[in-house]
Amino acid sequence: MIDYNKIIKELKNLYLSDQRPWIIGFSGGKDSTCITQLIYYMIKNLPSDKRTKKIHVLSSDTLVESPFIQDRIKKSCSKIEAQSRKDRLPIKVEILRPKLNDTFWVNLIGRGYPSPNRWFRWCTERLKINPMTKYTVDQVKENGEVIILLGARKGESASRAQTLRKYAIKNFRLRRHLNIAGAFIYTPIEDWSFKDVWVYLLQAQSPWGDNNRDLLSLYRKCDSECPLVIDKSTPACGGSRFGCWVCTVVERDRALEGLIENGETWLNPLLEFRNWLKDIRNNAEFRESMRKSDQKKKRIADYFNRDFSQSEHLGHKILGPFTFEARHEILRRLLKLQEMYQNRKLSLISSEEVKAIETIWVYEGDNISSFLDVLNDNRKALKNNDIKYREILSEVCNKFEIPEKLIERLVLVEKDFSKLSRRTGIHSKIEKVLEEYIHSIQ
């Protein structure tokens, strides 16, 4: 039987022992909800003059979260923030999101990265680790050291237990962060069982007004969650209730399947799209014949008349990024999917991401007209505006005998840097565009 008072006392002693701010990883799942409640009650019961240390509650929004729970997590964060303000607690709530350049669609549709799998899991670092790392590093710079509190439990898996033991500091409850000097990990419920967590949540009312029985109902459909990811040792969570709906690292998305089986049939188009993304990943018709790095090595080898060996994995030639045709089709299907969910006000891809994708396509050699063709149904105004632009472009290029493709890419570089007060890097970007264009016509 867990002694909850003992846990709260331990939290209290650690909170009062120094001025290192706390960072709580809040995913909206059972374990993170449990430790957030424990800490909330602990800090609320302290005298006001003892509440001197800031507590940061961080939630991760990858922008491709399962739509069924995305709204729930946002509402929970809003409630925590409002209630802590009312109770005058030093709690700051932040929802972390990836940089535009790191988002899932900008990389998959823009750069053509193949759908993630176990061997090329490019998404985790960009979508989750980087935002968390940046926030933590900023806090370390400001405060010297920080303590990250996670709802990790040894009972979750053998690998999780091994990780917790590996980074333990002897005779101390804190563990060193794998990559960030000055950051320490604290897992107050690491010895709790699955049952212990639910007994606490069903006995202790949520201090910010959530209904923990609703959370239990959600877990009855699928009893796993996606924790706040702080390093690469965390397993993929696409098969969990609190994972990304586009996760192709796992073989099947049992989360979406479970929800659909339990009556949420409106999610079926998302599942079909996700399965299609997984199916086309290893289809050579949708991929370049080799990686961009291999293409460059091959050009150099051909120039010097040397042998070239394409990269392999498990005895198979490694394919390159999605072709432009594949990227066009993915974006076309995604936009149609988004249009289908307009009544639910569900945003699957932002306008900023679409613009970033356009920029990358033109940088890499695609025509602006190809992009406009993809958006024909949704952005007709862009196509109309493009008519005048193309007339001027054609006239100038014919006059000076310059390829239109090259000028399109250089104009895009200028647009990218036009709003910056300091245009550092524009010359190197122009050189890169010229170099890539020369290689493309050889």
Same domain assignment for residues 153 and 54: yes
| CATH number of the domain where residue 56 is located | 3.40.50.620
Are the C-beta atoms of residues 244 and 236 closer than 8 Å to each other?
Answer: no
Angle at 259 between CA 254 and CA 261, to 5 degrees: 90
Greater model confidence, 298 or 151: 151
* Secondary structure (DSSP) of 249-312: SSSS-HHHHHHHHTT-GGGHHHHHHHHHHHHHTT-GGGB-SS-HHHHHHHHHHHHTT------E
Same domain assignment for residues 216 and 327: no
Whole-angstrom Cα distance, residue 110 to residue 357?
Answer: 4
Final residue in a domain of this structure, among 220, 237, 254: 237
Confidence of residue 385 (pLDDT cuts 50, 70, 90): very low
Least confident of 3-7, 85-89, 139-143, 420-424: 420-424
Q: List, in order, residues 6 or more apart from 212 with CB less than 8 Å away.
A: 33, 201, 202, 205, 206
Are the C-beta atoms of residues 326 and 287 closer than 8 Å to each other?
Answer: yes
Same domain assignment for residues 85 and 222: yes
Same domain assignment for residues 327 and 225: no
In this prediction, residue 162 carries a pLDDT of 55
Q: Is residue 20 part of a domain?
A: yes
Greater model confidence, 308 or 174: 174
* Distances in whole angstroms, Cα of residue 296 to Cα of each of 229, 429, 439: 34, 18, 9
Greater model confidence, 110 or 393: 110
In this prediction, residue 273 carries a pLDDT of 96
Same domain assignment for residues 143 and 33: yes
Q: Is residue 295 part of a domain?
A: no
Number of domains composing the chain = 2
Final residue in a domain of this structure, among 176, 211, 237: 237
Q: Is residue 305 part of a domain?
A: no
Q: Is residue 92 part of a domain?
A: yes
User: Over the stretch 97-116, which tens digit does the pLDDT of each residue have?
Assistant: 999 999 999 999 999 999 99
In this prediction, residue 442 carries a pLDDT of 61
Interstrand relation of 55-60 and 22-25 (parallel, antiparallel or unpaired): parallel
Q: Is residue 341 part of a domain?
A: yes
Are the C-beta atoms of residues 131 and 169 closer than 8 Å to each other?
Answer: no
Same domain assignment for residues 216 and 104: yes
Final residue in a domain of this structure, among 237, 266, 283: 237
Same domain assignment for residues 215 and 329: no
Amino acid at residue number 229: V
Greater model confidence, 252 or 182: 182
Whole-angstrom Cα distance, residue 380 to residue 386?
Answer: 10
Same domain assignment for residues 87 and 221: yes
In this prediction, residue 424 carries a pLDDT of 65
User: Over the stretch 5-20, which tens digit does the pLDDT of each residue have?
Assistant: 889 999 999 999 999 9
Q: Is residue 170 part of a domain?
A: yes
Range of the domain at 16: 4-237
Confidence of residue 383 (pLDDT cuts 50, 70, 90): very low
Q: Is residue 334 part of a domain?
A: yes
Q: Is residue 208 part of a domain?
A: yes
> Does 318 score more than 50 pLDDT?
yes
User: Over the stretch 147-161, which tens digit does the pLDDT of each residue have?
Assistant: 999 988 876 655 555
> Does 189 score more than 80 pLDDT?
yes
This prediction's pTM: 0.77
